[in-house]
Amino acid sequence: MAAIARVECVSYGEFIKQKSFRAIESGFDPDLFGARLFDFQSDIVRWACNRGKAAVFADTGLGKTNMQLTWATEVVMQTGRPVLILAPLAVAEQTSEEASKFGMTATVVSRQDQVTKPGVYITNYEKLDRFDASKFSGVVLDESSILKGDGSMRRGIIETFKHTPYRLSCTATPSPNDLMEFGTQSEFLGIMSQTEMLAMFFVHDGGDTAKWRLKGHGRTKFWEWLSTWAVVIRSPKDLGYSADGYDLPELIIHEHVVESGMTSGLLPYMAQGLSDRLFVRRKTIDARVAKVAEIANRIDGQVLIWCNLNEESEKLEKSIPGAVQVYGSQKAEDKAKYLLGFSHGEVSRLVTKPSLAGFGMNWQNCNHMIFTGLSDSFEQYYQAVRRCWRFGQTKPVNVHVVSADSEGAVVANIRRKEIQHQEIGKEMAAHLKEYTLKALGRSKTEKTEYNAIKKMELPKWVS
């Protein structure tokens, strides 16, 4: 007689429940004894330790450094093995200094043989190839937006740490303007590959196969899935915590437009597109540098000066007394010395590029910055401004933007992206709040008690 398959019947409610996303915890419950954390930071660290592999997307000034150091220290205590923090240039030394302030130890190293015992170690991303990932029980990516794109750095990081038991990804971004970036973070943590994420939650945006958008019916499921492995927080009040002391000072934008003298026939020349704007920027370097120098030389106090071209950097250093430039081909030790020197107030005028120092550095000690023109990257602009305009800044921050009249609407374009960033950020916070509070163990279900005042009777026709 043929075997008869047994079919297990489940209710529709149970069937739907099985389709829900669940957080698969692979970590431990931390002690956190003596940890110097605010309540929201403590809950996030505890959740991340329990999760084992997690992401903390916290806006600038919310204490990511303290949280990641505490998480790393707890993993060392749990496993008895070292943990490695990867950070941008100069941020490693800054993180080590922060660790001392919070009563922890984090040692800056440049190669594997300097890791001699269990502890928290920090190195720069550029030195990753000098380390053996199998020797570490955990890894932290500081400013993990480095995973964006499809470059060799991203692939190397994901491949190197694919077997590391504990992983933590920390950044103020990924930007809500680019939801696909969550896929690279998820892939690093071993949650889901970017390809799988796109197939599950996204569709091509119209006829452009290079752009994706969330499926209309899948938005809620996407946020629910994200909340199982990531915490997104712009302010403690986003998650119902006290926001005392987390008020940003005023941000004052000053626009300065210099005349380029460029014409197209009888009309002023107006750049069209990225390559055209780059052409205009090269033609107007002297005029913009002169304006930046004029502004910087009349400011009393530290000034952070951003540029995009090497020629701009060289001319700015010569035009501004006391200016020090940090550039790409400079020795790593000199870069770190000047960047930290600006942190300590030893450098009064720092000239550099957002691509070099726009991520990770904490410069609340400065409240004046000047852009020698803008690129079209909103993320670079956002991160550059946030080096000074961040929680913990006590003074209004003055941002001067110098551009040529022929550059077109580059400032307006950045502002449009900023408004989009804020709107999508609000939507993200609203969607994630319920799920995140539940993950952090702070959700409460409100129920209204039902008191029957009349006995229910079935109608006679019901047999």
Closest CA to 409 of 274, 252, 213, 266: 274
Cβ-count burial 116-142 (b if 16+ within 10 Å, e if not): eeebbbbbbbebbeebebeebbbbbbb
pLDDT digits (tens, 9 = 90+) for 301-316: 999 999 999 999 999 9
- Torsion sign over Cα 327, 328, 331, 332: positive
Mean pLDDT computed over 17-31: 66
How many angstroms separate the CA atoms of 26 and 425, rounded?
29
In sequence order, the β-bridge partners of residue 369 are: 304, 399
pLDDT digits (tens, 9 = 90+) for 325-381: 999 889 988 988 999 999 999 999 999 998 888 788 889 999 999 999 887 778 788
How many angstroms separate the CA atoms of 26 and 24, rounded?
6
Greater model confidence, 176 or 179: 179
For the chain, domains (ranges, CATH) are: 19-242 (3.40.50.300), 251-415 (3.40.50.300)
Does 449 have pLDDT greater than 50? no
How many angstroms separate the CA atoms of 24 and 192, rounded?
13
pLDDT digits (tens, 9 = 90+) for 392-443: 899 999 999 998 887 766 667 777 777 777 777 777 777 777 777 877 776 4
Residues 6 or more apart whose CB falls under 8 angstroms from that of 444 comprise none
Which residue is it, tokens 């040529």? Answer: 404
Q: What is the pLDDT of residue 48?
A: 95
The pair of three-digit structure tokens given for residue 163, joined into one six-digit string: 């077997």
Greater model confidence, 452 or 338: 338
Does 65 have pLDDT greater than 90? yes
Greater model confidence, 430 or 162: 162
pLDDT digits (tens, 9 = 90+) for 261-282: 777 765 667 777 677 777 888 8
Compute CA distances 367 → 280, 374, 392, 435, whole Å.
29, 19, 12, 37
Band the pLDDT of 15: cuts 50, 70, 90: very low
Q: What is the pLDDT of residue 207?
A: 56
Q: What is the pLDDT of residue 25?
A: 59
Look up residue 396 and give its DSSP letter: -
Which range is least confidently modeled, 201-210, 227-236, 298-307?
A: 201-210
Does 216 have pLDDT greater than 90? no
3-state secondary structure of 306: strand
